[in-house]
Amino acid sequence: MPETIVTNNDLAALMDTTNEWIIERTGIQERRFFTAGKDSVSNMAARAAKIALERAGKTPQDVDAIVFATLTPDYYFPGSGVLLQRELGLSRIPCFDIRSQCGGFIYALSVADQYIKSGMFKTVLVAGSEIQSNVMEISDRGRTMSVIFGDGAGVCVVEAHQEKGKGILSTHLHSDGNFAEELCCKLPSSSLADRGLSADAQQAGDLLPYMNGKLVFQYAVKYFPEVIREALTHNQLTENDLDLLIPHQANARITEYVRKEMNMPAEKVISNIHKYGNTTAASIPIALTEAWQDGKVKEGNLIALAAFGSGFMWGSALIRW
Ligand code: ACO
């Protein structure tokens, strides 16, 4: 996580919002913001990757491929995968960039899983990293988005193994482009003559992300339980078999709604959004890492990961740890 902690009161000093409004609507108390010149999407992922590789008893040279999920890449192109590769001192291995927003980590994990199961790769780094504080506006007009989103990175090492019934049991992916504009950042656009970078567009706030909050809420609480149940049914399991649910940290109210809908006790559902806000593609690996560090992830546990977000794109992964 980047070091700078930004509390709700820090934001309230810069825009028309309050600590109470943010906590009531989102459950967020504070988030991290990057430091310009020090943190980048790829170098935060590299720091996370080094910790992950050390914990997995691997070196960067063991990595066969990188799958990098982000909606805030370092550059317009190339993607951040090759930058992470470079940061790790690697060359030649393939790097994939996944543009699936909040669903990014699940999509990335699924890509890694398929390549490993096909036998093409043995060890894959799956990264989620975001610097969102720099693409929002800390102002009255930017307040709907900027109180929700934060910066951070998380990386998992995914490895081939021979133990039947362990590891990633299955992944389930969906999307519906009919809702593309309901949670999006349209500019800069390759389709517009001025790419939307004109002074007028900037002044009008057209480069800022937009979210139809109520609609996103409505679909999130429908698709989260649906896609988790899809994964359970596919594996002939039920929610009673789940030891842990690690949802994308969209909003504490969404997580709470999903928890109740799935009849799960609070201790089985990981929520750390109060500390970090919504870190989009990074939120699941950050939450998984914290749950693991806190001893909540145990050998043999059945763990569901699930996400919903911009696209709309949503998905789940079922893991026997
Ligand atoms: N601080 C204070 N007031 C605010 C803020 C703010 N940051 N933002 C908006 N308001 C005001 C609005 O202007 C509005 O004022 P008005 O009544 O005078 O017009 C009022 O608060 C209510 O605004 P709504 O947009 O109706 O607020 P709502 O209760 O819907 O809450 C929220 C907004 C939190 C975004 C809600 O719609 C929600 O939870 N949506 C789910 C979307 C979400 O959480 N997305 C997470 C990211 S996407 C993802 O990860 C899937």
Q: What pLDDT score was predicted for residue 295? A: 97
Given 102, 172, 185, 272, which residue is catalytic?
Answer: 102
Is there a catalytic annotation at residue 248?
A: yes
The number of angstroms, rounded, from the C-alpha of 240 to the middle of its chain's C-alpha atoms is 26
Q: How far apart are CA 243 and CA 61, in angstroms?
A: 34
| Active site (annotated) includes residue 102 | yes
Q: Check if 72 has its Cβ closer than 6 Å to any atom of ligand 1.
A: no
Active site (annotated) includes residue 184: no
Which of 46, 252, 255, 259 has its CA nearest to residue 147? 252
182 CA to middle of ligand 1, Å?
A: 14
Q: Which two tokens stand for residue 249?
A: 């940290």
Of the candidates 87, 35, 106, 83, the one whose C-alpha atom is nearest the C-alpha of residue 287 is: 106
User: CA torsion sign, 196 to 200 to 204 to 205?
Assistant: positive
pLDDT at 206: 87
pLDDT the model gives residue 239: 94
Q: Is 312 in the pocket of ligand 1 (CB under 6 A)?
A: no
- Ligand 1 atom 1, closest CA: 17
Assigned token pair, 201: 């567009």
Query: How far is 144 from 112, CA to CA, in rounded Å?
Result: 34
Residue linked to tokens 């546990």: 301
Is the CB of 309 within 6 Å of ligand 1?
Answer: yes
Per-residue pLDDT at 202: 86
Res 193: pLDDT:
86
Give the residue from 288, 285, 291 showing the smallest Cα distance to 267.
291
- For residue 205, give Cα distances in angstroms to 132, 137, 185, 208, 209: 16, 9, 11, 6, 9
Compute how many other C-beta atoms are within 10 angstroms of the C-beta atom of residue 294: 10
Q: Decide if 97 contacts 281 (C-beta within 8 A).
A: no
Query: pTM above the 0.85 mark?
Result: yes
The two tokens of residue 245 are 């649910």
Per-block mean pLDDT, blocks of 10 residues, the chain (321 long): 98 98 98 98 98 98 98 97 98 97 98 98 98 96 96 98 95 98 94 88 90 97 98 97 98 98 97 98 98 97 98 98 97
Looking at residue 194, its pLDDT comes to 86
- Output the six-digit token pair for 220: 């999130």
Query: How does strand 152-159 pair with strand 244-247?
Result: unpaired
DSSP string of 83-117, one letter each residue: HHHHHTT--SS-EEEE--GGGHHHHHHHHHHHHHH
